[in-house]
Structure 1
Amino acid sequence: MANETLTQRAPTLPRTQARPWTFLLLVLGLAVVYVYGWKVTQINLGELVTKAHLVRPLVRDLIRPDLMTWRPRTLAVSVPFSFTRAGAPAPVPAPPVGPRLRLSSSVASPGQPLVVRGEGFTPNRPGVLIWQDQSGASAKAKEFRTDSQGAFTADLAVPSLIGEHHHLIAEVTLEGRLLRPSTALTLVFGRLVETVFLALMGTTIAVILAVPLSFLGAKNLMARSPVGTTVYYIVRTVFNITRSIEPLIMATVFAVWVGIGPFAGVLALALHSVASLGKLYSEQIESIDPGPIEAITATGASPLQVVRYAVVPQIVPPFIAFTIYRWDINVRMSTVIGMVGGGGVGFLLIQFINLLQWQQAATAVWGITLIVAAMDYFSANVREKVV
């Protein structure tokens, strides 16, 4: 009989079972943690029902943004005047027909009386005279009403205005109304454009600084000598420290440094984006194929030639994708840093909130939502085509 090799199964060791008291301790520990967390965070689910009436007006205003408004039709005519003759614009002759405005003198000092005569306006309509200084700021001067011939006369005293050369505007209210964009919508639109370009400029400055720093923060390029290794760790440490500081804090610092406005927001976004993009860029450099680097290095090429011919061709597409994605992030972030004086639509939003103008705030919120969605769609398409 042929020898048969009998295969015996090795004895299976009994699986160690968790002791019941260990499981109970774990459950008790989690219970203590969550009970304490519930108490610290003051969770009270009942208030969601009992205080719902407080939030209803707010929600109602937020879903009804201030977009359009009915405004009366108006007709405005302006005439220049100056405090001094030096540099004063040449007087424009009044048209022979149509609305026209004349002053008793085109040069007048603050406090001096001024007679205003208007002709050719719509008869029997109310109107208002408005001072407009050299900076564009306006102030109501006096109300008037045209007579049956469409004329009026008003006596004024010239106020103190900023600058030397100004305008006096006569605005007559006509019959009928027009549906026009609301003041809130006009302001929000301008701030949204500012927000997009604020993020664009911050991202552009960051890219200019992050690209060269990313090569210094790539271990596969720098860790070939003690000096290079030291530079690598210094750059990476700077990246990590800068990324740990919230852009909101940076915007606050720059708002104090350079003043409230979009420039402070650009600087805050640029500084934070340098660290974020630098880290992404350097990690991308570290993940490239080492073959071309070794081949070009073997030919005796200099470090700059290695970067130019072996590294750059591999990193351009992902660098573009990272940059577009960072621009998308900065658009969202700029709406937040604007709340501390960094410019953009966030600065306008916090003003509406402080004034309890919830419908106007809703206009800003919906504008932010649309611009963020558009940027997300744009960046996703670009990254899909590039990568």
Structure 2
Amino acid sequence: MASMPTPPPHRPFYTRTKFFVYLFVALIVYAYGWRVTEIHPTSLIKDFHLVKPLVTALLQPELITFETERQTTEAGFFLQKATAGESAITPPGTQDPVLRLTRTRGQIGETLTARGFHLAPNRTGKLYWVNAIEQEYPLGEVTTDGRGGFEKQITVPTTARGDEQYVRVVLTWETGEWHVSETLTLTADKIVETLFLGLMATTFAVLFAAPLSFLGARNLMTRRATGTAVYYLVRTGFNVLRAIEPLIMAILFAVWVGIGPFAGVLALAVHSTAALGKLFSEQIESIDPGPVEAITATGARPLQVVLYGVLPQVLPQFLALGFYRWDINVRMSTIIGFVGGGGIGFLLQQWINLLQYNQAGTALLAIAVVVIALDVVSAKVRERITLAS
């Protein structure tokens, strides 16, 4: 008997011509994408000094405060082309606190030196660049010597706006006992509002999504032409509402009902209704058809089939998905607040706009703590529901 011919060895996919063609096309796509998105990794290192004061402030949340005293003085600066180089700083003739600069005119990105005289000795404070609309940009910390003086090199920041600017030094020192900061009190109040904002939005979403999901389940609705039409109508509604970002909905409702948490509740509720409706429908479509067929065979009405054949199978999943959606809505409510949807996001946006990064750091810390805690609780609840089912 003649032996069968040996088949040729299988060539790995990466040795074939098509692979190199696809690889070449992919490289072209990514090269173009790199160019279009203007990716410049070197700027992360080169321009880190611009974001360093911001990051430092965010990492120092304002949780407690002390009774303090404050000393402030400033020096003028004009955002114009300099007519001369830096000049030496001469000490003032008075004993009043004074801040002087090596130049009083210049452009963004130029470097100059700030020097303070006759300030409170041996104190630490902050140096700010204040533009024409009174926005403060932190330039770093300063510490006065035993005679109340300091010297620091600064750069005209990109936040400089208008002609007349100021460099401001603010020294603060503790004089009394500590107490909970006003920032922490406001943050606690708004984080509670955020939790309930997410809770109310999720509750409304579940109440609307649960009944609609039965109309959007293929296995229940496509037995007749009318049911099929309803199925496609409901599913299309879910897809359309899910395609609209909650941020856009929040802007719409903020105009409609006014800025505040109610607008955030409505925005998250509408989006969550569509999201949960789709998830609930998919759970219904994956049920065991046996109980449904058995109950139908007894002559039960459609509502009875749903109550006794479908609902017991999907209720645990509905509850688990509802808790998970609450977790998502609490996190999303932070962004919703940026456009007037209430909650901690509204407060965070105000602090960022005012360049109050220590206060913003307090809000971010509260958000992180709540999100982590809620994630742990939500996971435990979903686990118990799954085990119970």
Q: Kindly tell me: are residues 252 and 31 of structure 1, through their superposed partners in 2, closer, same or farther at Cα, counting changes over 3 Å?
A: same
Task: Give the CA deviation at 1:339.
Answer: 0.4
> CA–CA distance in 2 between the matches of 1:27 and 1:305?
58
> CA–CA distance in 2 between the matches of 1:27 and 1:219?
41
> CA–CA distance in 1 between the matches of 2:41 and 2:8?
50
Unaligned segments of structure 2, at least 5 residues: 69-174
Identify the residue that residue 59 of structure 2 maps to in structure 1. Answer: 63
Please state whether the residue corresponding to 1:12 is helix, strand or coil: coil
Identify the residue that residue 39 of structure 1 maps to in structure 2. Answer: 35
- 1:160-179 equivalences under 5 Å are 177-179=176-178
- 1:235-384 equivalences under 5 Å are 235-384=234-383
Q: Kindly tell me: are residues 10 and 290 of structure 1, through their superposed partners in 2, closer, same or farther at Cα, counting changes over 3 Å?
A: farther
- Max radius of gyration: which structure? 1
Unaligned segments of structure 1, at least 5 residues: 1-5, 73-175
**How many residues are matched?**
279
Q: In structure 2, give the amino acid aligned to 1:40.
A: V
- 1:189-208 equivalences under 5 Å are 189-208=188-207
Identify the residue that residue 229 of structure 2 maps to in structure 1. Answer: 230
Please state whether the residue corresponding to 1:70 is helix, strand or coil: strand
Please state whether the residue corresponding to 1:301 is helix, strand or coil: coil
> CA–CA distance in 2 between the matches of 1:8 and 1:220?
55
Identify the residue that residue 221 of structure 1 maps to in structure 2. Answer: 220
Task: Give the CA deviation at 1:23.
Answer: 4.2
Please state whether the residue corresponding to 1:44 is helix, strand or coil: coil
> CA–CA distance in 1 between the matches of 2:352 and 2:372?
23
Question: RMSD value over aligned CA atoms?
Answer: 1.8
Identify the residue that residue 181 of structure 1 maps to in structure 2. Answer: 180
> CA–CA distance in 2 between the matches of 1:265 and 1:10?
72
Q: Kindly tell me: are residues 251 and 12 of structure 1, through their superposed partners in 2, closer, same or farther at Cα, counting changes over 3 Å?
A: same
> CA–CA distance in 1 between the matches of 2:294 and 2:377?
38
> CA–CA distance in 2 between the matches of 1:201 and 1:381?
21
Task: Give the CA deviation at 1:20.
Answer: 6.3
Please state whether the residue corresponding to 2:290 is helix, strand or coil: helix
Task: Give the CA deviation at 1:213.
Answer: 0.3
TM-score, length-scaled by structure 2: 0.69
Please state whether the residue corresponding to 1:221 is helix, strand or coil: helix
TM-score, length-scaled by structure 1: 0.69
Would you identify which runs of 4 or more consecutive aligned residues in structure 1 move more than 3 Å? 6-11, 13-25
Task: Give the CA deviation at 1:31.
Answer: 2.4
The C-alpha deviation readout for 1:332-355, integer Å capped at 9, x for no partner, is: 000110000000000000100000
The C-alpha deviation readout for 1:289-324, integer Å capped at 9, x for no partner, is: 100000011111110111111111111111110100
Task: Give the CA deviation at 1:71.
Answer: 2.9
Percentage of identical aligned residues: 58
Identify the residue that residue 7 of structure 2 maps to in structure 1. Answer: 12
